[in-house]
Structure 1
């Protein structure tokens, strides 16, 4: 399986859309919207902003499923 590194984030506050490259070595906990400046944080149960607001989940979740990332205590974000 090939990992997709590009995800399109949509700001829930202003609707601004931006294509971003996801890190492969850690979850991204914060993202500043380029439209309104709002600092996005993961929704409860998600490990990163890409899983909450992106079109593609983060690389660890793509490879091993939702329970493989930070919310499960696997240490991907340590």
Structure 2
């Protein structure tokens, strides 16, 4: 996971589906990850 940026799109290596953030989330890490992205964890805005 990048520590200084968010990732808006992610293509699943298993099935090829293109994931996008859920409504209200800034990136795929915040929507589908176990923890929020580093900028959010540090209290900064995302992207």
Give your verdict on TM over 0.5: yes
Q: Give how far 1:56 is off.
A: 1.2
Q: Quick one: higher RCO (CA 8 Å, sep 6+), 1 or 2?
A: 2
Answer with 1 or 2: which has the greater Rg: 1
Residue-by-residue CA offset, 1:14-64 (whole Å, 9 max, x unaligned): xxxxxxxx1112110011111100010101110100000011110011111
Q: Across the two proteins, how many residue pairs are aligned to each other?
A: 47
- Normalising by structure 1, we get a TM-score of 0.55
Of Structure 1 and Structure 2, the greater strand share is in: 1
2:6 is the counterpart of 1:27: yes
Equivalent residue, structure 1, for 2:28 = 49
CA distance in 2, matches of 1:35, 1:43: 20
- Normalising by structure 2, we get a TM-score of 0.86
